[in-house]
């Protein structure tokens, strides 16, 4: 016979929780990876919000005397070829990385939601045309499409955001469309329609909120991808231009030539990219487990 | 089945035509063309000379005419000439494709070799320390930018062996070639293996929860028999999809890796051609990538039917 320890089971389910702090401790015991992810993401968000306060140096101020300076008490991550403080550049870089990541995820998500909701709800010719357009967009790997888009729009912060957001549209549209298809047959949608609601209002007020859970899960996953694509585009010289400090560009400027003499120029920007993406990925996994338990694994 | 094949084929064709229009328009939207870039390096612009070169390349004609020209050329297997080298695009792309193809095959082999078994182990040992470790490794695989991983490998080999394994001369024999491609292939394959591992794990867990697994267990089937002969077979279905998709999408990772390791493959060439506004190279290469993606998707769909008799086409 299997023995069941009732107290332990109750504690695991969170029966004896008192106060907010207890709840946080309980949550972190149940979802250790999720909490790690949340902490990492918060650290980067704080860095982006208070970059000026955290980094005492100016990220674009050059100083030839400090060119390729090794990490020291004053410049804890060393200096790049032009003597700019790497720590300040990394801290300010989080701003660019997060702005591009979040903005392109939101923009791509919004377009995807619109297309998905409309094609799943209206069907007919609109759906037919949109499905074909999405087929076309999915015929290229994300980075290749983003690369061509970035090159044709020209280098700027806004254009990089647009170039990354468009390749993110198809998956959002697909997910929203398939949940809309299932939802539009549900009794509560029928009831709303029978009550005389305008179709558009039914779609937005009743169908859309019910597609949110899978959408949030997908968006967090895409946030990590968007940050990586920005880094890759900037690495290839087609992303965010000077004077914005972009982690990806720091790697391409510094990489080949100075890897030998100044390894800190390669290590820190890469570490920053990996950590922030790792954090969002952990968060994405946790959100999936919480919001969509069927997919839990 | 026959109607399904015809329908799928027509849809593929439609996708490719759409892609050709989009890529053609996007390329012409790019700021500056090859002539501007040539004059940029020369430092001055001579308007009459510029117009002359544009006329010679056919860039002065209306865009629809240029487009039709390209498509008619494609149908006759005439891909045009590279603006930069002035060689036929076929001759430029031809020798580079096998390099990228070899890298992609090696990377895919690497990712399947590691991804599938580790994913199964992770699922079978769910919620143990081993599972957590494997999950963190697979998540880092999705988080590390492949170019950083490649740079770290280069730096490590520099520190350890005093030498960097980048491409300088064409390899002399097959063995040298394999050796040279191992590291870049692993750098690219790490990401795909992480993806495959995660999917294998979740798909395996999904299957392990099903009734027929419980039946097998209650009949007294051994743990190994349940895991590997009952569950894995069904869990493998979604994994084939992701392997197929990754096979086509590896090209994205290869763009970066070929650049870092200085490998003269098509993926690296695509970036160079985009930067030089070498339209004939870019548009033909993008079409090739799109062709590979839609073909792979098609093959994956057919494999699905072959692996799972419950799936029927044509309805």
Per-residue H/E/C for B74-106: HHCCCCCECCCCCCEHHHHHCCHHHHHHHHHHH
CB of A274 within 8 Å of a chain B CB? The answer is yes
Task: Give the model's pLDDT for residue A276.
Answer: 93
Q: How far apart are CA A253 and CA A154, in angstroms?
A: 19
CB of A197 within 8 Å of a chain B CB? The answer is no
Task: Give the model's pLDDT for residue B141.
Answer: 86
Q: Which among A125, A224, A118, A260 has a CA at the least distance from the CA of A176?
A: A118
| List of residues 6+ apart from A82 with CB closer than 8 A | A62, A63, A64, A67
Q: How far apart are CA A136 and CA B16, in angstroms?
A: 7
Q: How far apart are CA A252 and CA A80, in angstroms?
A: 12
H or E element at residue B17: helix B2-29
Average pLDDT over residues A84-99: 85
Out of A144, A228, A282, closest to residue B289 by CB: A144
**Most A-contacting residue of B145, B156, B248, B298 (CB-CB within 10 A), to test interface:** B145
Task: Give the model's pLDDT for residue B308.
Answer: 73
Out of B143, B147, B290, closest to residue A251 by CB: B147
**Degrees (nearest 5) of the Cα angle B178, B183, B184?**
95
Q: How far apart are CA A296 and CA A98, in angstroms?
A: 28
The residue of chain B with its CA nearest to that of A150 is: B30
Average pLDDT over residues A2-18: 72
Task: Give the model's pLDDT for residue A254.
Answer: 59
- Other beta carbons less than 10 A from residue B295's beta carbon: 14
pLDDT digits (tens, 9 = 90+) for A108-142: 999 999 999 888 888 889 889 998 999 888 888 88
Q: How far apart are CA A145 and CA A143, in angstroms?
A: 6
The DSSP 8-state label assigned to residue B8 in this structure reads H
Task: Give the model's pLDDT for residue B230.
Answer: 78
Which residues of chain B neighbour A170 with C-beta distances below 8 Å? Answer: none
Question: Are the beta carbons of A235 and B152 separated by less than 8 Å?
Answer: no
Quote the minimal CA–CA distance from A279 to chain B in Å: 9
Render each residue's pLDDT in chain B as its tens digit; 315 residues.
Answer: 788 888 888 888 988 999 888 888 888 877 777 777 666 666 666 777 777 777 777 777 777 878 888 888 888 777 777 777 777 777 777 788 888 888 888 899 988 899 888 988 888 888 788 888 888 888 888 888 888 888 888 888 777 776 666 666 666 677 777 777 888 888 888 888 888 888 888 888 888 888 888 888 888 877 777 777 778 877 877 788 778 777 777 888 888 888 888 888 888 888 888 888 888 888 888 888 888 888 888 888 887 777 777 766 654
In contact, B270 and A162? CB cutoff 8 Å: no
Which residues of chain A neighbour B252 with C-beta distances below 8 Å? Answer: 141-144
Which range has the top average pLDDT, A7-16, A61-70, B244-253?
A: B244-253
Q: Which among A285, A228, A97, A266 has a CA at the least distance from the CA of B138?
A: A285
The ipTM is 0.84
Q: Which among A252, A233, A91 has a CA at the least distance from the CA of A162?
A: A233
Q: What is the mean pLDDT of chain A?
A: 82
Task: Give the model's pLDDT for residue B122.
Answer: 87
CB of A157 within 8 Å of a chain B CB? The answer is no
* Torsional sign, CA A215, B208, B109, B248: negative
pTM: 0.85
In contact, B266 and B193? CB cutoff 8 Å: no
- Burial readout A190-207 (b: 16 or more C-beta within 10 A, e: otherwise): eebeeeeeeeeebbeebb
A:47-106 residues touching chain B, CB 8 A cutoff = none
Task: Give the model's pLDDT for residue A297.
Answer: 44
Of A68-82, A162-176, B228-242, the one with minimum mean pLDDT is A68-82
Residues of chain A above pLDDT 90, percent = 17
Average pLDDT over residues A204-225: 84
pLDDT digits (tens, 9 = 90+) for A32-59: 778 888 899 999 999 888 877 777 777 7
């Amino acid at each position: 016979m299997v023995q069941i320890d009732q107290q332990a089971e109750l504690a695991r389910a969170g029966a004896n929780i008192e106060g907010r702090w207890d709840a946080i401790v309980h949550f972190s015991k149940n979802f250790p990876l999720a909490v790690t992810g949340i902490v990492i993401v918060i650290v980067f968000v704080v860095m982006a919000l208070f970059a000026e306060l955290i980094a005492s140096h100016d990220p674009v101020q050059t100083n030839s005397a400090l060119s390729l300076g090794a990490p020291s008490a004053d410049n804890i991550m060393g200096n790049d070829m032009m003597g700019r403080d790497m720590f300040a550049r990394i801290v300010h870089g989080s701003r660019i990385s997060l702005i591009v990541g979040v903005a392109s995820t939101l923009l791509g998500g919004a377009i995807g939601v619109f297309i998905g909701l409309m094609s799943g709800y209206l069907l007919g010719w609109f759906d037919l045309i949109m499905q074909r357009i999405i087929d076309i967009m999915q015929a290229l790997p994300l980075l290749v499409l983003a690369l061509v888009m970035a090159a044709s729009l020209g280098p700027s912060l806004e254009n990089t955001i647009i170039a990354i957001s468009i390749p993110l549209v198809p998956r959002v549209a697909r997910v929203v469309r398939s949940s809309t298809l299932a939802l539009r047959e549900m009794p509560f949608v029928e009831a709303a329609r029978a009550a005389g609601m305008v179709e558009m209002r039914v779609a937005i007020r009743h169908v859309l909120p019910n597609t949110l859970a899978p959408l949030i899960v997908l968006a967090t996953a895409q946030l990590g991808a968007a940050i990586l694509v920005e880094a890759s585009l900037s690495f290839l010289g087609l992303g965010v231009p000077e004077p914005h400090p972009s982690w990806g560009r720091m790697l391409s400027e510094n990489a080949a030539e100075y890897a030998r003499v100044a390894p800190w120029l390669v290590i820190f920007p890469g570490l920053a990219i990996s950590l922030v993406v790792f954090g969002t990925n952990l968060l994405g996994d946790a959100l999936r487990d919480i919001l969509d338990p069927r997919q839990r694994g | 089945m026959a109607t399904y094949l015809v329908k799928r084929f027509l849809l593929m064709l439609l996708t490719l035509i759409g892609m050709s229009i989009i890529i053609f328009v996007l390329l012409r939207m790019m700021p500056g063309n090859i002539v501007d870039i040539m004059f940029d390096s020369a430092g001055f612009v001579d308007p009459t000379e510029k117009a002359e070169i544009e006329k010679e390349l056919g860039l002065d004609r209306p865009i629809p005419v240029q487009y039709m020209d390209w498509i008619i050329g494609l149908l006759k297997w005439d891909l045009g000439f590279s603006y930069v080298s002035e060689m036929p695009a076929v001759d430029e792309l031809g020798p580079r494709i096998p390099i990228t193809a070899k890298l992609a095959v090696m990377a895919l082999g690497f990712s399947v070799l590691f991804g599938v078994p580790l994913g199964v182990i992770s699922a079978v040992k769910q919620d143990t320390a081993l599972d957590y470790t494997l999950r963190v490794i697979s998540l880092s695989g999705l988080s590390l930018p492949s170019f950083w991983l490649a740079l770290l490998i280069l730096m490590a080999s520099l520190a350890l062996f005093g030498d960097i394994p980048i491409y300088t001369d064409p390899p002399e024999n097959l063995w040298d070639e394999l050796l040279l491609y191992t590291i870049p292939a692993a750098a690219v394959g790490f990401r795909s293996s992480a993806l495959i591992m995660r999917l294998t794990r979740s798909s395996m867990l999904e299957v392990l929860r099903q009734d027929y697994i419980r039946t097998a267990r209650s009949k007294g089937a051994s743990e190994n028999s349940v895991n590997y002969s009952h569950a894995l077979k069904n869990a493998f279905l979604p994994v084939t999809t992701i392997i197929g998709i990754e096979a086509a999408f590896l090209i994205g990772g290869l763009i970066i890796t070929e650049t870092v390791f200085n490998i003269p493959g098509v993926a690296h060439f695509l970036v160079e051609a985009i930067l030089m506004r070498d339209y004939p190279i870019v548009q033909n290469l993008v079409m090739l990538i799109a062709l590979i993606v839609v073909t792979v998707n098609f093959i994956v769909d057919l494999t699905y039917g072959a692996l799972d008799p419950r799936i029927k086409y044509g309805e």
